[in-house]
Amino acid sequence: MLPLIALFIAAFAFGTTEFVIAGVLPQVADGLGVSIPTAGYLVSGYAGGIAIGGPLLTLATKAISRKALLLGLAAAFTIGQAACALAPDFASMLLLRIAVAVAHGAYFGVAMVVAVGLVRQDQRGMAVALILSGLTVSNVIGVPAGTAIGNVWGWRATFWVMCALGVVSIAAITALLPRKTGSSRQSVSFGNEVRVLARQQVWTSLILMLMLMIGQFGLFTYITPTLLEITGLDEDLVPWVLLLNGVGATIGVFLGGRLADWKLMPSLITMLFMQAVTLAVIYAVSPYPVPMVVAIIIWGGLSFAIGTPIQTRILTWTADASNLASSLIPAGFNVGIALAASLGAAMLNAGYGYRSLPVVGAMAMLVAVAVAFASHVQEWRSSATPPLPAAAE
């Protein structure tokens, strides 16, 4: 358990630095002398760094000891936060954020592979859930705390605190992670890394990931104006709703871990259908504050509950060549987030309004139900079994 805690701490640190920028964006824009929309590229640039740089770095470092690599990525995070705190202008800040994002993308791919290798087969779901919870807890604790620090002492102080968090993560990985966590077998070629992606359990899971992000971020990207304009909530109440959503997500990620270890595909199909229903409910109750808030909490919990078994399934079915596939998990999520936000913007620009967003999400979830069911049936008919993990060196 202690090695997983070390991996969680670093996941929490990476999650906080990704999302906290939204909380201090006006101060960063003012401090670097750019407009707020321009400063927004610090968010999209980070997502791009994860999606593109993460898989490339993971493949380039596949022969390195996993512990040494995780320490190097945590060190890159720590140095990057200090550099961001000292950034003299917007261009350097953007480049530094992208560099940290590359380490972020590689970290989550490697950490999940290490995590499932540290536990029994029937504990893989919970191991993935613990790493993934670093992102949800960062939203519940890290982002509000980082934003508050930025409001009191300035945005540079936020990055200095995250630098200190990076030091803690380095110490935790050094002390708690076993030295022999293994490295990828050097005999696993790039061709094999690509070949495992053709397994239907893998590519269908990536489709499910994309549908999940449309169901989540198509609405979440515009959740504040939806709550203000459609639900009629007071502006001061919106942060509390988002906090409750984050609490629901944290509970959901561990629930998803339990279900992934119990009955992965039946649980996944059921939750995808429940999410479709929840999004339909959000559409129906969006003008009514109390049921809308309850629905948003359930929606947040289901989103992360679904994410855990999807990732567990990818890791399970690529265990013999996991480097590329594992790095595609954070990359896929960020590509999905970008596509969902763009789809939402297109819907709004076409004049459909905020209330149309959960309808699109519900349709995406129904597509996911059909894909997941077909994949499960094909797997059952073929009597296929997951590959054995590649031997570590």
Model confidence pLDDT, tens digit, residues 306-336: 989 998 899 889 888 777 888 888 888 888 8
Mean pLDDT score, 131-156: 88
- Residue 185: pLDDT band (50, 70, 90) is very low
Angle of CA points 169, 100, 3, to nearest 5°: 25
**Range name among 26-35, 65-74, 139-148, 276-285 with the lowest pLDDT average:** 139-148
Token output for 12: 């929490």
Mean pLDDT in the chain?
89
Amino acid 182: pLDDT: 52
Q: Is the pLDDT of residue 385 over 80?
A: yes
- Is the distance from CB of 132 to CB of 8 less than 8 angstroms? no
Amino acid 181: pLDDT: 66
From residue 146, alpha-carbon distances to 54, 154, 267, 311, 376 in Å are 25, 10, 35, 28, 42
- Is the distance from CB of 82 to CB of 163 less than 8 angstroms? yes
Q: What are phi and psi of 199, to 5 degrees?
A: -65, 135
Which residue type sits at 132?
L
Token output for 377: 């049936």
- Is the distance from CB of 96 to CB of 159 less than 8 angstroms? no
The C-alpha torsion from 213 through 218 and 222 to 228, rounded to 10°, is: -110
Amino acid 336: pLDDT: 85
Amino acid 390: pLDDT: 62
**Range name among 89-98, 178-187, 314-323, 381-390 with the lowest pLDDT average:** 178-187
Amino acid 280: pLDDT: 97
Which residue type sits at 38?
T
Q: Is the pLDDT of residue 212 over 90?
A: yes
- Residue 192: pLDDT band (50, 70, 90) is confident
Q: Is the pLDDT of residue 87 over 70?
A: yes
- Is the distance from CB of 330 to CB of 109 less than 8 angstroms? yes
Q: Positive or negative, the Cα torsion across 28, 32, 34, 39?
A: negative
Amino acid 344: pLDDT: 87
- Residue from 345, 303, 328 nearest 40 by CA: 345
| pTM for this model (two decimals) | 0.81
Mean pLDDT score, 258-280: 95
d(CA 6, CA 2) in angstroms, rounded, equals 6
Q: What is the DSSP string of 71-120?
A: HHHHHHHHHHHHHHHT--SHHHHHHHHHHHHHHHHHHHHHHHHHHHHTS-
Top-confidence residue, 389 or 182? 389
Q: Is the pLDDT of residue 392 over 50?
A: no
Q: Is the pLDDT of residue 72 over 50?
A: yes
| Residue partners of 271: CB distance under 8 A and separation at least 6 | 256, 259, 302, 305, 306, 309
- Residue 393: pLDDT band (50, 70, 90) is very low
- Residue from 267, 294, 292 nearest 282 by CA: 292
Amino acid 140: pLDDT: 84
